[in-house]
Structures are given as C-alpha cells and as structure tokens.
Structure 1
C-alpha cells in the first residue's frame, strides 16, 4: 500500500499561478483603565538616628493603615527603598553628624476609583509626605489587548480583500501572519493629569480631588500574506 504524496506547501514567493499580496493591519482602541497607581514618599528628620528611624516607622505605619483601609480596592501594596542618611556639618574639625534624614517609598495600585480622590488628599495632608500620581494602567491580561489584536487581524483581511477586488479576483489562502507589536499609553488629551501633591497646612482636611480616569489608547499591528486566485489582467 503506497502513501499518497503530501501536498506541497505554497512557495515563499508569488508566482503567476499563485500571486501573493502582503498587507499591514492596524487597530487603535480607546478604553478605560483597570488600575490607578499612587506613589507615596515619607520623610523624617532628626538629630538622633534612632529618633529619626522611629519617626519614619510611625509615619510608615500611619500610611499603611490608611491604604489598607481601602479594603478590596487596594490590589497591590509595595514598600520600596528605605534610607536613613546622616548629614555632616559643612565646617569644623573632624566629621560631626548634624542631622539624619530618613525616607521610605510606597507604591499602591487601586482597582476602584470612587475613593481615589479622598485617599490622595488624606495622604497629601500628612506631614512630610509626598504623593505622586495617579498613573492610570491596564492589566497585562486586560481583554482590551485581545480586542485590539483581533481588530488588527480583521483590518489586515479587509485590506487584502480590497486589493484582490481591485484586481477582479479574491483571496485564496493565508500564507503568513506576523505580530508586529502592540503598545498602549494614556490618551494624549489627558496625559498631563498625573500630578504631585505637597502636604497641606490647614487644620481642616482638604476636600477630595475630583479625579477622572485617563482613557488608555491601545495600538496593535500585524502583517499578513495571502495567496490570490490568478486574476485576468
């Protein structure tokens, strides 16, 4: 019993019997963010190293309690670098410590934006506390990424069909599909909404900020190569 010969793959180049068309497919998609990221920098200063560290620890505990009070809205909380640095006197004989500076950095991601304005103002109202953000983010597994890629593929197919129709023929088979790349960034009209706060000095708490989430702009691109049914030119 003889095995029938396997079908030969199409050549990597176009021929009169199987002409090729290569197109690029693109997709631009605007979508709401999934997360808001806030960075908090705490500072302490004192003549004694231990006093400075104790003060910094107290401030860190206060901020952690405030962030954790958000409950399930707090998706991620990380502590960055902790530094306690002595400052030496600028003049005099020998090296003498003038004061100590301490800093600690925290980063928090929130998935619920309803309490974000109140949280940022409460953080910024703390002494010697700097708040940066929010930065609006999409999760890596956000369905919006898949939707953008699918739209790019459909755009490539539509372009190839239009070229085929211009030649009076139709597509025959897909030869190759390449993922050129995807990218996303805040919408250019709202990019400048990231901001930094300084600690408030009034006795009364500041009113909550009205923070509108930045729309995220996704871009996807593919290249596709098709064979065409031979047109009559």
Structure 2
C-alpha cells in the first residue's frame, strides 16, 4: 500500500508540473519571486562531544571507550538531560602508530602504539545557560574533545511557515504592480515554488570562560543572530 501511495503521489506531482509548463506555453503569464525574512536569536544548543580511549589492544580500547561513554551519558541524565536527547552518532576504531627515526636516506619504521576508540555524541539542550554548564561538566566527566556547538532556534519551522506566507504576499504584490503598470490584471495562479535559507551573522557564535562562586570554570555561550529567509517563485496567468 505504501508503494502504491508513493507512486500515486509521484505521478500527481509530475502531472502538476507538466500541467504548469503547458499553461505557461499557451497563456500570457508573469513569474515573480517574493521574499520575506527576519532575525532570530537561538535559544537551544546541540553539543557535539567526542570521547576517546587509547589502549594497547583493540578490545581494551573499545571496552574503555564504552565505559567512558556510558558514564558520561549517565551523568548527563542525572543532570536532567532526557536520554532521547543524547545520541551516539559515530563510533570509530583505529590503530595508533609512530614513526621511528632512521639514518639519513633510510625510511623510518612505523611502530604500533596500540588502538584508539572514539565515540561521537550529540546532546540537545533546551537552554543556552544549561548548555554552558553541561558542556563544562561533560569535559570534566570524560569528554576528550568538543567538536562544536550548534545553535538552534526552537520554533524555526513555525517562523519559516509564517515567512513563506509573507513571501507569497510579497510576490503577489510585485506581480500586481508590474501588470497594472501595463494595463493588465492578474489571473489564476499557475505555479508556485518555495525555498528557505538560514544564515548566521556570527557563524559560530562566541564562548567566554567564566568562573562560578564555587570556583568551577564554565563557558558562556553567545550565539550569533540567525537570519531566516523564505523565498517564493510564483507564476500567474494574465487577464485583460
């Protein structure tokens, strides 16, 4: 049944596209792009953390990495992070080797130093202040590396939906201004397409090291403002 519905939807989209192209070939028309945008300050964060374990054997490296990952996850849960917001998004295991010095003109010899197991965690936090505290605690609890902090606008989808409607109205007003200047009128709408863009005025935001009253160091996260933009391309038939 799912395949039948998917095939039917695909056919409907193809027919709609073909119909729009046919109408544009046979009717006078105008195509206009409308746009609407606004700035939004992120209010959530996704922490990208790495946990690394180096051991002499592959089994020992994997075992230690699993232990550290589980310990860090349990610690985050105890601090109030829902377990569903903590995800292991990648796991790697690789040999670690160094190259011994060799006489001039000779090739150095690679010497195995053991194995390195790495887990990549993604932790979603619903408050920037909470994210800063959790980030510092995660590093203290065993996270070896911070790959980055991704800042998120929690209601971004709702905002983009609203902007899309505003972009349609902008396109319609532009089209109406153009056709009325030549004594025509807008007829039926033939085709409409949309796209969204999200950019940050400060791409990575900033972090500032601070110290709490207890002497525990933590980071203050200062994300850059994000600009949300919706663009709509619409085509109307012309009428007299």
TM-score (norm 1): 0.71
Q: 1:116 aligns with which of 122, 131, 139?
A: 131
Greater C-alpha radius of gyration: 1
Question: What secondary structure is seen at the aligned counterpart in 2 of 1:115?
Answer: helix
Question: What secondary structure is seen at the aligned counterpart in 1 of 2:203?
Answer: helix
1:49–1:22 distance in 2 versus 1, CA, 3 Å: closer
Q: Provide the alpha-carbon RMSD of the alignment.
A: 3.6
Q: 1:177 aligns with which of 177, 184, 191?
A: 191
Superposed counterparts of 1:80-229, under 5 Å? 80-87=89-96, 90=99, 97-127=112-142, 129-138=144-153, 142-168=157-183, 170-171=185-186, 173-185=187-199, 187-188=200-201, 190-193=202-205, 205-206=216-217, 208-229=218-239
Structure (1 or 2) with the greater helix fraction: 2
Unaligned runs of 5+ in 1: 1-9, 198-203
TM-score (norm 2): 0.69
Q: Which residue of 2 aligns with 1:200?
A: none
Following TM superposition, the consecutive aligned residue runs of length 4 or more in structure 1 with deviations greater than 6 angstroms are none
Q: How far off its partner does 1:145 sit?
A: 1.8
Unaligned runs of 5+ in 2: 1-21, 101-108, 210-214
Q: Please identify, of 34-43 and 65-74, the stretch whose mean Cα deviation from structure 2 is larger.
A: 65-74
Superposed counterparts of 1:16-95, under 5 Å? 20-33=29-42, 35-71=44-80, 76-87=85-96, 90=99
How many residues are paired up?
A: 208
